[in-house]
A and B are shown apart, each in its own frame.
Chain A
Amino acid sequence: MTLDKVTQGQTATIVRINGDGAIHQRLLDMGITKGTEVYIERYAPLKDPIHITVKGYSLALRIAEAKMIEVTA
């Protein structure tokens, strides 16, 4: 499952990040690493981007990026 499939108010655990290059590095730098729990805080008023809580802080990312992140519920 990828992160964009997780509904608001749910928690998921990161399995891996697909993709490469700058965006991959950026997600790693922001704490999107294997085994980390993410909580789906809310979707933006237009359903995209997503507001998540990771490592105790708030992060906004687009559905397109969320699709790169594999998670388990």
Chain B
Amino acid sequence: MKTIAIAGNPNSGKSCIFNNLTGSRQRVGNYAGVTVEFTEGTCQINDEKVKIIDLPGTYSLTAYSQEEVVSRDFIVKEKPDALMIVVDASNLERNLYFTIQLIELGVPVVIALNMVDVAEKKGFTIDTVLLSKLLGVEVVPTVAFKKEGMEELKRACLKVTKSRITPKDLTYSHELEGSLEPIIEELEKHPEFTKEYPTDWVAVKLFEEDKEVLEKLAAYENKAAIETSIELGKKFLKKHSDESPKTAVAEARYAIANGINKEVTKRNELGQRILTGKIDSFVCHRFLGWAILVGVIYALFWLSFQISGEWNWIPPIIGDEWVSPMGFVELIFENIATWASEASWMGDTMKSLFVDGIIGGVGGVLGFAPLIFFIFLFISALEDSGYIARIAFILDRVLRVFGLQGKSILALIVSGGVAGGCAVPGIMATRTLREEKDRLVTIMVAPMMNCGAKMPVYAMLIAAFFAKHEAGMMVLLMVLSWGFALISALILRKFVIKGEQTPFVMELPIYHVPTIRGVLHHTWGRTWSYIKKAGTLLLAISIVMWALMTYPKTEVDPTLDENAASQVELRNTVAGKIGTTIEPVTQIAGFDWRDNIALIGGLAAKEVVVGTLGVAYSMGDVDPEESETLATRVQEEWSKPDADGKNRGPLKAFAMIIFVMLYAPCVATLAVIKKETGSWKWTLFSTGYSTALGFVVAVLIYQIGAFLI
């Protein structure tokens, strides 16, 4: 099968084109040996099936970031039959700079000249025929958002894979060509050193002191002659220019990009200031900017909760009332539970496993899938619109105070900074941080953000105790998680991971109205992975937890009433014994043995807390039709007045919410932390300090709160 790799700057519409070409035929993989992810898909061109690889979006091909090294290695070593470069027509010069670096790798190239509509609005028309002639590659104008030009793009790719014509050799400035000459001359005597890499490219990389290529040279036995030639080249440059080699190379590439840009672009004087500028003057405004920021995030929560749980807009397919999506899922599981408890072929143990274990655990988690879906939906829309970059712009100054940087914000937001993220991709997103220390601090605090898995726990406890203040509570929790993460970052930066701060240079992409297709694509991907987790990992854990909470069985005094009896039974199970053993300690934060079981379960995945609480608190219920929903049940249980007559229910709920927010990252996150830091020390540190912090804060809330009420 033929392979086409897609490369391009971030925000060039690269992933949109990839989605257009491959549809749903995609899978995510990892490059061998490194942690950079890639997406792979297939596409039908005429009668041929073609493999399409989406390379990471980068601005350059230096050795300063893993993504850039992975991209260039892939192109050189895997030798795709064609390299498609997605170029933002409205931002031609900088995109051409990257294109030139890709062309230097000497593979057949097709340019997707994307966003030609935006360029036109900006007042530019681009002569694609001339551009094609100047670079010696196929150029296809496209508007990926509207799927325009996709067929032409496919045809151009096919043509190039057949002809395998590589682009023209580019001619740099006189100073650079002169400097490279001795190096190229020498390299041609060492084919065993350059191997599969184009000689010219190796010469440029050696000249601009690329770390990776220099390391390869250091390991090469006949390096002395090459090193001498590099010195010759540098001397030549010194004679003709006062720039450093690195600057000279970048400037030479930009000189070509600039020249081509001027030649192919016609500027229409009537070009309007595009909408992005106008929007930014509001969104980044000194005062308005903050109001919009808070408003957008509040609206995101409010809408997600209303649409998924408050507004009854699902027609009465099951039952005879209009329900909300969450109500609908709940109804499905209620019906299944009813059916199971009436099924006479099931034994009592099987009924208990099915109703209490599986439906109680998995059903409880899946019940929140609609909420997760709508939160992801709005976050994806914000991501695609370009607003997330503005959040980083507005908040960078604040973050820096805490020893983080604007890019950390991306990792924190993905981890759940605007709720509903996941620390796993969040921690992976820290790879864009080039400074190891900033990266490590970000990794250590990212799991404190409100990830999607914590949402069901929050949602359940809020529904039980703070139902009237749903949106307000969610904003408070968001503020608190940021607060804890940032203060922890500051402390870690001051005392544990010390060192200089790193730079912040970030493109502010133009705003886009997100396409429904693109947003649904992201949202469905994320929601589906959540549901899959519920169906596999959580199913297994639910069953294990059920077993731990059922066995060993005990004989109970028959004079006890039903609920008291089941309490005694549960207390004598394995889980009950663990929970009881640590109860004297956890009791300081208000957690009893049942809560302990749930919190231990949450180490596997935070949402398990809900499922396990479900099992723990519905254990005595035989008839599921009379079993209350978990929130009502927990509310009843926890609101029972204590010996001093005080109702500590809301306090306990709040202490638990904060504990769940802060305590040890889930197993999946720990695995990623281990992978990304390459150190057990940091993995254990992350577990230990977050659990300690969570417990101390929970105790403070519970004890001080109890003193005040």
One of A22, A41, A49, A59 near B64 (C-beta < 8 A)? A22
Nearest neighbor of B210 in chain A, beta-carbon distance:
A25
Q: Is there a chain B Cβ closer than 8 Å to A5's Cβ? A: no
Partner of A62, one of B90, B97, B243, B396: B396
A51 touches B94 (CB 8 A): no
Interface string of A50-62 (1 = CB under 8 A from B): 0100011111111
- Mask of B246-257 contacts with A, CB within 8 angstroms, 1/0: 110011001000
- Docked pose: A34 CA to B90 CA in angstroms: 22
Report yes or no: A51 in contact with B247, Cβ–Cβ below 8 A.
no
CB contacts (< 8 Å) of B93 on chain A: these are 31, 55-56
Contact B504 A49 (CB under 8 A): yes
B392 proximity list for chain A (CB < 8 A): 60
- CB proximity to B under 8 Å, residues A9-45: 17, 22-31, 33-34, 41-42, 44-45
| Residue tally, chain B, CB below 8 Å to A | 47
Are A64 and B507 closer than 8 Å at their CB atoms?
Answer: no
Say yes or no: A44 contacts B503, CB within 8 Å.
no
A27 to B285: give the CA distance in the assembly, Å.
25
Contact of B507 with A57 in the complex, beta carbons under 8 Å: yes
Distance (whole angstroms) from the CB of A10 to the closest CB of chain B = 16
Residues of A within 8 A of B285 (CB): 45
Could you tell me if B504 and A61 are in contact, using CB atoms closer than 8 angstroms?
yes
Whether the pair B505, A27 counts as a contact (CB closer than 8 A) is yes
Task: List B contacts of A57 (CB < 8 A).
Answer: 90-91, 94, 507
User: What residue of chain B has the Cβ atom nearest to residue A54's Cβ?
Assistant: B94
How many A-B contacts are there with CB distance less than 8 Å? 121
Check: B56 CB closer than 8 A to any chain A CB: no
A47 CA to B510 CA in the complex, in Å? 22
- Measured in the bound complex, the distance between the Cα atoms of B254 and A26 in whole Å is 14
B508 contact from A22, A27, A60, A62, Cβ within 8 A? A60
Looking at the complex, which one of A25, A44, A56 makes contact with B246 (CB distance below 8 Å)? A25
Contact string, B372-409, partner A, CB cutoff 8 A, digits 1/0?
00000000000000000100111011101000001000
Least CB distance from A7 to B in Å reads 15
Say yes or no: A60 contacts B504, CB within 8 Å.
yes
Q: A63 vs B286: C-alpha distance in the bound complex, in angstroms?
A: 17
Q: What residues of A have a CB within 8 angstroms of the CB of B90 in the complex? A: 56-57
How far is B407's CA from A49's CA once the two chains are assembled, in angstroms? 13
Whether the Cβ atoms of A44 and B396 lie closer than 8 Å is yes
Q: A59-B508, A64-B503 are in contact. Are A46 and B397 (CB under 8 A)?
A: yes
Q: Is B290 an interface residue (CB 8 A)?
A: yes
- A-chain residues with CB within 8 Å of residue B277 when the two chains form the complex: 41
Flag if B398 contacts A62 (CB, 8 Å). no
Residues of B within 8 A of A28 (CB): 246-247, 250-251
In the bound complex, residues from chain A placing their C-beta under 8 Å from that of B280 are: 41-42, 51, 58
- Chain A, residue nearest B506 (CB): A60
Complex Cα distance, B287 from A28, in Å, reads 33
Contact in complex: A65, B62 (CB < 8 Å): no
- Per the bound structure, the CA–CA distance linking A58 and B490 in Å amounts to 30
Chain B hits for A26, CB < 8 A: 59-60, 64, 503, 505
A45 in contact with B286 (CB, 8 Å):
yes
Contact, CB under 8 Å: A29 / B396: no
On chain B, the residues within 8 Å of A64 by CB distance are 501, 503
The 7 closest A-B pairs by CB, nearest first: A28-B250, A46-B397, A58-B508, A29-B60, A23-B503, A57-B91, A55-B93
On A, residues with C-beta under 8 Å from B are 17, 22-31, 33-34, 41-42, 44-49, 51, 55-62, 64-65
Additional A-B contacts beyond A28-B251, A55-B91 (11; CB < 8 A): A17-B247, A31-B97, A45-B286, A45-B290, A57-B90, A57-B507, A58-B508, A60-B392, A62-B396, A62-B504, A65-B504
Listed in ascending order, the chain B residues whose CB lies under 8 Å from chain A are 59-60, 62, 64, 90-94, 97, 122, 243, 246-247, 250-251, 254, 276-277, 280-281, 284-287, 289-290, 389, 392-394, 396-398, 400, 406, 434, 501-510
21 A–B contacts from the bound complex (CB under 8 Å): A22-B503, A25-B246, A26-B505, A28-B246, A28-B251, A29-B62, A29-B97, A31-B97, A33-B250, A42-B281, A44-B393, A45-B285, A45-B286, A46-B397, A46-B398, A49-B396, A57-B94, A57-B507, A59-B508, A60-B505, A62-B396
